Amino acid sequence: MGYEISLLTVMGISIIGSLSLNLITGFCGQVSLGHAAFVGIGAYTASLLTKADTSFFIALLAGTLLAGTFGVMVGLASLRVRHDFLAITTMGVNFVFLGVVRQQEWLGGELGVSSIPDTGLGKLGFLALVLGSVILVALLSLQIRRSWMGYVFEAISEDEDTARMLGLDVSRYKLIAFALGTALAGLSGGLYAHHVRFIFPDSFAFVESITLLAMVVIGGNGSIIGVIIASALLSVLPQWFQFIGDYKLLLYGSLLFIVMRFSPGGLSGLTQSLFPKSKNSFALKENQ
Amino acid sequence: MKLLDLRNISVSFGGVNALEDVSLNLNQGEILGLIGPNGAGKTTMLRVITGVVQSNKGEIDLEGQMINNLPIHARVRKGLGFAQQLVRPFQEMTLVENVALASGIEQTRHPWRSMFRVERSEALRESLKWLAMVGIEDAADSLPNAVPLGYLKRMEVARVLALRPRMLLLDEPLAGLNQAEAAAFADILVKLNRQGQTILLIEHNLAEVRRISSRLVVLDNGRKLAEGNPESVLKQSSVLEAYVGKGNVHVEN
A–B interface: beta-carbon pairs under 8 A: 96
A80 reaches B (C-beta below 8 A): no
Confidence of residue B238 (pLDDT cuts 50, 70, 90): confident
CATH architecture for the domain at B1-79+166-253 = 3-Layer(aba) Sandwich (3.40)
Three-state secondary-structure class, residue B164 = coil
ipTM confidence? 0.88
Average pLDDT over residues B143-151: 91
What was the pLDDT predicted at A265?
78
Q: What contacts A285, CB < 8 A, 6 or more positions away?
A: none
Closest approach of B8 to chain A, Cα-based (Å): 25
- Mutation target among A166, A169, A272, A286 for the B interface, most CBs of B within 10 A: A166
* pLDDT score for A61: 97
The reply to whether A280 falls in a domain is no
Q: Give the whole-angstrom CA distance, residue A186 versus residue A243.
A: 29
A202 part of a folded domain: yes
Contact (Cβ atoms closer than 8 angstroms) between residue B233 and residue B216: yes
pLDDT along chain A (288 residues), means of 10: 89 96 94 95 96 94 97 89 83 94 89 88 94 97 95 94 94 95 97 94 92 91 90 84 74 83 78 65 46
Taking contacts as CB-CB distances below 8 angstroms, the residues of chain A near B114 are 147-149, 152
Whole-number pLDDT of residue B6? 93
Give B38's pLDDT tier (boundaries 50, 70, 90): confident
Cβ neighbors of A192 (< 8 A, separation 6 or more) are A13, A39, A43, A199, A203
Region(s) of chain B under CATH 3.40.50.300: 1-79+166-253
* % residues pLDDT > 90 (chain B): 62
A82 within domain boundaries: yes
Q: Shortest CA distance to B225 belongs to which of B214, B236, B209?
A: B236
Residue A159 lies in a domain: yes
The reported pLDDT for the residue numbered B246 is 61
Amino acid in the structure at residue B41: G
**B42-84 residue pLDDT tens:** 989 999 999 999 898 999 999 889 998 999 999 999 999 998 8
Please count the structural domains in chain A. 1
Asked if residue A160 is part of any domain, the answer here is: yes
A174 found inside a domain? yes
| Per-residue H/E/C for A186-245 | HHHHHHHHHHHCCECHHHHCHHHHHHHHHHHHHHCCCCHHHHHHHHHHHHHHHHHCHHHH
B116 touching chain A per CB within 8 A: yes
A286 falls within a domain: no
Helix axes A170-196, A35-51, angle to 10 degrees: 50
Residue type (1 letter), A192: Y
Distance (Å) from the C-alpha of residue B169 to the closest C-alpha of chain A?
11
Range of the domain at A176: 2-206
Give the number of C-alpha atoms closer than 13 A to the C-alpha of residue B130, restricted to the C-beta side.
27
In A, minimum Cα distance to B72 occurs at A164
